């Protein structure tokens, strides 16, 4: 069995979806005319030039989910991590479906052997965060992406069977096969459901993960950005990887000055 970064080698997907969670956030935080905002727009424009790449906006994904309603307001919405909390809040502003949102800290991290493990980030664990939901008539589980489905299935699987029967899952985007694996547990609504084999035919990444050290979580080690693994950039963008890598490094230096790479 391989260990380390080689165990997580990435193929070149036929279609790569990139959620642009970078342009507006950097412009909001740093100013639209700032060097960081200009660099973020330059990066997104460079990525979009690849015919295999589709850049997704938050607005289009929210509208795609909303179009599959309506739903009566859920008595509780369980948001997976900070990303799920942002999605639930944005969807609620558009639809009114999630008046009571609680965040549950759950993420996946590399085990160093080519696999992943689920990690709870709340004190007391997942069970404590879900313990008082038994009397709720309807439950929503919300996340941004269903990629492998590991995180979403892990949370829904932690619910008692009686509660799962009253649960509906939501995500903005995901791999169709993984979304179907969640649907075996409870109904799920996805804004974008991409067909094909995960990683090989279709892959999803967040633009923020390209430049911020939040994307790759590892056991007992600091998190990495995607650009910290240039072999991944090369696989995802084979014709433009040098340009993309240079743009990522420049933007990271503006957003996270003084931080050094830790492998």
What is the pLDDT at residue 2? 36
Pairing of strands 202-206, 53-56: unpaired
Instruction: Select from 194, 217, 241 the last residue of a domain.
Output: 194
| Distance of alpha carbon 210 from alpha carbon 23, whole angstroms | 13
What is the pLDDT at residue 259? 66
| 53 domain residue, yes or no | yes
Exposure string (b/e) for 145-168, b if CB count within 10 Å is 16 or more? bbbbbbbbbbbbebbeeebbebbb
| 262 domain residue, yes or no | no
User: Does residue 70 sit in the same domain as residue 179?
Assistant: yes
Does the pLDDT at position 97 exceed 70?
A: yes
What is the pLDDT at residue 260? 58
User: Does residue 79 sit in the same domain as residue 171?
Assistant: yes
What is the pLDDT at residue 1? 31
For range 232-251, the mean pLDDT: 98
Q: pLDDT tens digits for 101-111?
A: 999 999 999 99
Helices 150-157 and 176-183, axial angle in degrees (round to 10): 10
Instruction: Select from 194, 223, 247 the last residue of a domain.
Output: 194
3-state secondary structure of 241: helix
User: Does residue 163 sit in the same domain as residue 233?
Assistant: no
| 70 domain residue, yes or no | yes
| 261 domain residue, yes or no | no
| 260 domain residue, yes or no | no
User: Does residue 131 sit in the same domain as residue 207?
Assistant: no
User: Does residue 74 sit in the same domain as residue 170?
Assistant: yes
Instruction: Select from 141, 170, 194 the last residue of a domain.
Output: 194
Cα 100 versus chain centre, distance: 22
User: Does residue 112 sit in the same domain as residue 235?
Assistant: no
User: Does residue 107 sit in the same domain as residue 92?
Assistant: yes
3-state secondary structure 143-212: EEEECCCHHHHHHHHCCCHHHHCCEEEEEEEEEHHHHHHHHCCCCEEEEEEECCCECCCEEEEEHHHHHC
Percentage above 70 pLDDT, the chain? 96
| 263 domain residue, yes or no | no
Instruction: Please tell me the pTM assigned to this model.
Output: 0.93
What is the pLDDT at residue 143? 98
Instruction: Considering only the C-alpha atoms of the chain, give the largest distance between any 2 of them, rounded to a whole number of Å.
Output: 54
Could you tell me the CATH number of the domain that includes residue 188? 3.40.50.2020
Helices 58-66 and 81-95, axial angle in degrees (round to 10): 60
User: Does residue 189 sit in the same domain as residue 87?
Assistant: yes
User: Does residue 234 sit in the same domain as residue 144?
Assistant: no
User: Does residue 247 sit in the same domain as residue 136?
Assistant: no
For range 183-195, the mean pLDDT: 98
Domain of residue 133, residue span: 58-194
Burial class (CB in 10 A: 0-12, 13-18, 19+), 263: exposed
Do 74 and 139 contact (CB within 8 A), yes or no? yes
| 142 domain residue, yes or no | yes
| Distance of alpha carbon 38 from alpha carbon 42, whole angstroms | 6
CA–CA distances in Å: residue 229 to residues 114, 175, 193, 261: 15, 23, 27, 10
**How many separate domains does the chain show?**
2
* pLDDT bucket at 190, cuts 50 / 70 / 90: very high
Q: pLDDT tens digits for 25-61?
A: 999 999 999 999 999 999 999 999 999 999 999 999 9
User: Does residue 23 sit in the same domain as residue 124?
Assistant: no
Q: pLDDT tens digits for 123-162?
A: 877 888 888 898 999 999 999 999 999 999 999 999 989 9
| 137 domain residue, yes or no | yes
User: Does residue 83 sit in the same domain as residue 130?
Assistant: yes
């Amino acid at each position: 069995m391989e260990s380390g970064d080689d165990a997580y080698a990435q193929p070149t997907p036929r279609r790569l979806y990139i959620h642009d969670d970078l342009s507006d956030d950097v412009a909001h935080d740093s100013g639209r005319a700032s060097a960081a905002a200009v660099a973020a727009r330059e990066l997104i424009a460079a990525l979009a030039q690849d015919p295999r790449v589709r850049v997704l906006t938050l607005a289009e994904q929210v509208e795609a989910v909303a179009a599959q309603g309506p739903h009566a307001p859920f008595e509780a919405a369980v948001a997976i991590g900070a990303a799920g909390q942002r999605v639930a809040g944005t969807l609620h502003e558009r639809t009114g479906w999630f008046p009571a949102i609680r965040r549950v800290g759950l993420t996946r991290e590399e085990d160093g052997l080519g696999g992943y493990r689920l990690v709870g980030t709340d004190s007391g664990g997942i069970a404590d965060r879900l313990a008082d939901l038994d009397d709720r008539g309807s439950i929503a589980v919300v996340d941004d992406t269903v990629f492998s489905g590991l995180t979403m299935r892990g949370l829904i699987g932690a619910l008692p069977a009686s509660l799962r029967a009253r649960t509906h899952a939501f995500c903005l985007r995901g791999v169709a096969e993984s979304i179907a694996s969640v649907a075996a547990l409870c109904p799920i609504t996805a804004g974008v459901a991409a067909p094909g084999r995960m990683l090989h035919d279709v892959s999803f990444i967040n633009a923020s993960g390209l430049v911020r050290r939040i994307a790759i979580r590892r056991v007992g080690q600091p998190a990495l950005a995607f650009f910290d693994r240039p072999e991944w950039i090369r696989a995802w963008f084979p014709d433009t990887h040098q340009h993309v890598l240079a743009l990522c490094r420049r933007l990271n230096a503006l957003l996270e000055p003084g931080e050094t790479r830790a492998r």
